[in-house]
Each structure stands twice: as structure tokens, then as C-alpha cells.
Amino acid sequence: MALRSTVFKAELQVADMDRGHYGTYALTVAQHPSENDERLMLRLLAYALHAGGGGEALAFANGMTEMDEPDLWRRDLTGEVELWIDVGMPDEKWLRKASRRARELVLYVYGRNGDVWWGQQRAAVSRLANLRVRQVEAEASAALAGLARRSMRLQCTVQDGHVWFGDGERAIEFAVPELKSPAVA
């Protein structure tokens, strides 16, 4: 018998002063049986950092179960992928394939091995013109995992490149530095 996904409900309030975006989102997020709380919360963080950035809504995709889908994406009315967001440390081949399918590709690297992954992949992924790579340090991603609950009320504030992410009782402050910027067109 296959294990089922665990459903999480989150009310996410975003105040992104850097982008001038403010909003509240009622989200239902499925946690794949092989996904830990840290990765789940990184997907919610990525949602908060990209919410409200275009005509069509940002949506959770089936990145854990469908090999040709990201963790989150924004598609235009014709079905073209405007924004492809992945969380983790994929290989360069996967990133190359994703970069051909989307206008903009954003990768959030996290955890203890993020620096090692970046050292190994930096040269190969530097050729991907539409790729942006951002890093969440291991301490911050572990603290985010501690906020995971089946029902959550979360707040995310972004100002001057710093993120405050909390649940009303606890708050985490961290930066999400950019390791690679997309090429300017």
C-alpha cells in the first residue's frame, strides 16, 4: 500500500516591502511522503518571496511526483511557463532542461550541503542565462522546519533583502543571498 501525502493548510501573510507587494494567501500544500518539513517550509518561503508577481497566480506544482514539473510555477493564459521555482540541489542536466521550458528559473538551495552543491555546480549552471540561484543557510532552513504544523498562520516580511518569517509565537530572521543572477537581456 502506497503512503499518502499529508495535507497542510497555511494562511500566509506577505509584506514584501522590497517589491511593494502585500497580500494574504490561503494555501493547501501536500507534503509528499518522502518530503521532510524543512523542504515543505522552503516551498512556502519560495511562495512568499514570489507571490503577487504577475498577472496569473503562483501555484504549487507536482515537483515531487512529476519529473517534468517544478515545485512552484506561474503560467500565463496560453499555458507558457513564466516562472519555474525549484527547491533543493538538482543536477545541471535537470536545470538545463527546466531553463528551456520557462522564461525565468529560480532555484532555492538550502541545508548543510548547499555550499558543497554550489561549489560543484557553479561552473556548469553559469551558462543558464535565465537562472537565478538563491541560498537559505542551514540554520535558517532548520528553524523554518520547526514552524511546520498541519494548520499554520504564517507571516513573512521582506525588507532590504532580509526576511522575517514567523507564526506569531516564533520568528526567524535571515537573508537569502543570491548566488547567481540571470543574465540581463
Mean pLDDT by 10 residues, the chain (185 residues): 84 96 95 93 97 80 72 91 94 92 96 92 93 97 97 97 96 96 78
Q: What is the pTM of this model?
A: 0.93
What is the distance between the alpha carbons of residues 28 and 54, in angstroms, rounded to a whole number?
A: 21
The CATH number that domain 14-180 falls under is 3.10.640.10
Query: Does the CA dihedral 86-90-94-96 come out positive or negative?
Result: positive
The strands making up 178-180's β-sheet, listed across from edge to edge, are: 59-60, 72-75, 81-87, 102-110, 131-136, 178-180
Alpha carbon separation from 103 to 106, 112, 131, 136 (Å, rounded): 10, 30, 9, 23
